[in-house]
Amino acid sequence: MASSTSSSSSSQEDSPIQCFKYSRRATLRSVVGRPDGGLGLAGERAVVGGWVRSSAVVKARRAGLAASPSRRPEVETTGLTCTEVLMTRVPLIRRIARLMANGISVAASGDYARPAAGTALVRINDGSCVADLQITVDSSLCPLEQVTASGACVLVEGKIEQVKHTAPQYVVQMRVEKILHIGPVDSDKYPLSNAHPSTELVRGYPHLAARTAAVASTARVRSELIHAAHAFFQTNGFFHVNTPIITTTSAGNRRKMFSVTRLFSKSDDSRVTPEGVRAAIKEKMKQVEALKRSESNKEALEAAEQDLQKANVLSRQLEQGGSTDSSDDYFNRAAYLTPCHTLHLETYACALSSVYTFSPAFQVEILESDKSLTERWTIDVELAFAELEDAMSCTEDCLKSLCSTVSKDCSDELKFLSSSQAGNASNSLIESAVSSPWQRIKYTEAVNTLLQVTDKTFESKLEWGMPLSHEHMSYLADDLYKKPVIIYEYPKQLKPFYARLKEDLKTVSAFDLIMPKIGIVACGSQKEERLDYLTTRIDESGLQIEQLEWYLDTRRHGTVKHSGFSVDFEHLILFVTGLKDVRDTIPFHRTKGHAKY
């Protein structure tokens, strides 16, 4: 028995077809994603699956049909009931079954009645690579309309064969011998039946969008970047930390933060407005009265009365000026979706030395929807015993490593995106960013350089102390230096309170990374470790120091110089893919007025 098992295992290892570990299916990447396009697999049998991209039907010649009228397709009967086996093998029983089912196809159970004779040439893709696999399906296997509808899912078994005298993009195809599964599609309702749907159309169906080549390619690039990021930090001695998504600390403008509240019951869909609260109060009063009349379920009555009381309190607070008392809320205080992970990450850097997190961040954005997201993902990094120069060097090394990895491992995806309407990826731009050192200039130097420009007129006004506009940053990265640019030592009013104050008391140790064609992709700072300076900056920023007492403890107890940075992950994807709209970099985009599904 042992030798038999060993022999079976050895034969699987020697087989040129590499099946997915958790099924007998071979991914298309292991077939047409090979350097030879699958040519070395000609003659091998395999099981493949995927979704139909496009198809064509070649009608059979009459002579061909007469040549082998008795040929029957191979039918898999394992696991079928006796009735299903009879339907598979006895034509009369199949016909009776179709009549009883009012014409409903029973092909999945072995109905191989011939429709119009012919062969379907079907392009399928399982999402594992850019390339499609062409499969040929004879009409004797199933009604061809089932496997030719765009969007249908098929699982088939057959033999891989070399394609001759056809388009050069197909080196091999599979001649299907068994159909193991068909996931039908309603062609009249399937929104992506067009072979080349518009970006706007695809964006409107995010739950189906990944079936398009552009979105699938972007998803694979995104996945590779995530893997590369973890690999970079784990290799370089960083520890991954999970920072909270919900925070009670307001370290900036509260109007740009999303509140988390349970002041309404789960069944309440009303908005937190005076009108909505009044409507909720009326509804809750009706519920309370109904429960009182029923004289049952005292616990439900008490819960309803508490909800009514909270709604009345909230109504009074809103009518008195809009501020709300959160003492009765779920956390007993105001809570928000976190817009930044820096503060919490610092606490672990002051114990583990080098840490990072990959997490979502939330912020109310009023910019154009194609440039900003309400829900975005960031790579946040913090290094203890490190100053600003260290953080800038780590940022450069990290992003160079990520760009290099994705350029090598997702070359097909980047090539496809550069040739499609979806993006304009440039390998030369990525190679230039990876191969040469990045430009580093101080904010003051950048302002002076821009003020001396005579061959270009900027629409945005600029003087020392003002933020650089997108056109200013674009000129520096795209026109002047033609490479990524790190701008550092900003005026203190342009950066958060925790950025370390310089000796001139006007600037802080903070930086922005400007990538060509994109703008800011990362920002960072050396943190203020001096308690007195930090409390002064908190006061100057108008923040409540009581909310930040926990943060100040890291300065009171074993303070250390530390620095860090944050990478806007979606903007990094824009850079490597050449996509023009940030909404296309994330599976389910969230922007103002849009939170579909």
Q: Read off the pLDDT band of 110 (50, 70, 90).
A: very low
Quote the tokens at residue 393.
């060097």
- Of the listed ranges 110-119, 395-404, 497-506, 571-580, the one predicted with least confidence: 110-119
Distance CA 277, CA 75 (A): 64
pLDDT of residue 13: 46
pLDDT tens string 53-70: 999 988 765 444 433 333
Task: Give the per-residue pLDDT at 539.
Answer: 92
pLDDT, one tens digit per residue, over 214-250 is 999 999 999 999 999 999 999 999 999 999 999 988 7
- pLDDT at residue 72 tops 70: no
The per-residue pLDDT of the chain, averaged, comes to 84
Which phi and psi angles does 481 have, rounded to 5°? -95, -25
Of residues 259 and 494, which shows the higher confidence score? 494
Mean pLDDT of the 407-420 span: 91
Q: Which tokens is 502 given?
A: 């310089």
541-596: per-residue pLDDT in tens?
A: 888 898 899 999 999 999 999 999 999 999 999 999 999 999 999 999 998 888 87
Best-predicted range by mean pLDDT (3-17, 149-163, 266-280): 149-163
Backbone phi and psi for residue 123, each to the nearest 5 degrees, phi listed first: -95, 125
Q: Which two tokens stand for residue 389?
A: 């120069």
CA 155 from centre of chain: 27
| pTM, full prediction | 0.80
Q: What is the pLDDT of residues 128-141, one digit of tens each?
A: 999 999 999 999 99
pLDDT by residue (tens digit) across 227-236? 999 999 999 9
CA torsion through residues 4, 7, 13, 16, sign: negative
**CB-based contact 122:147 (threshold 8 Å):** yes
Query: Which phi and psi (to 5°) does residue 456 adopt?
Result: -150, 140
**Among candidate residues 272, 242, 254, the one with its CA nearest the CA of residue 339:** 254
Q: Which of 222, 194, 130, 124 is nearest to 584 (CA)?
A: 222
- DSSP bridge partners of 156: 48, 179
Q: What is the mean pLDDT of residues 187-211?
A: 91
Length of the chain as a residue count: 597
Mean of pLDDT values over 264-268: 49
**pLDDT at residue 346, as a whole number:** 97
CA terminus-to-terminus distance, the chain:
53
316 vs 224, 264, 274, 332, CA distance in Å? 52, 15, 9, 18
Confidence of residue 79 (pLDDT cuts 50, 70, 90): very low
Q: Which of 576, 557, 554, 308 is nearest to 431 (CA)?
A: 576
The 3-state DSSP class for residue 260 equals strand
- Please tell me the distance from the alpha carbon of residue 153 to that of residue 429, in angstroms, as a whole number: 38
Among 43-52, 192-201, 316-325, 470-479, name the one with the lowest average pLDDT. Answer: 316-325
* pLDDT of the residue at 68: 38
Q: Tell me which of 79 and 252 has the higher pLDDT.
A: 252
* pLDDT tens digits along 269-278: 444 566 667 7
Reference 355, options 450, 237, 250; nearest CA is 237
Q: Which residue has the tokens 């958060």?
A: 496
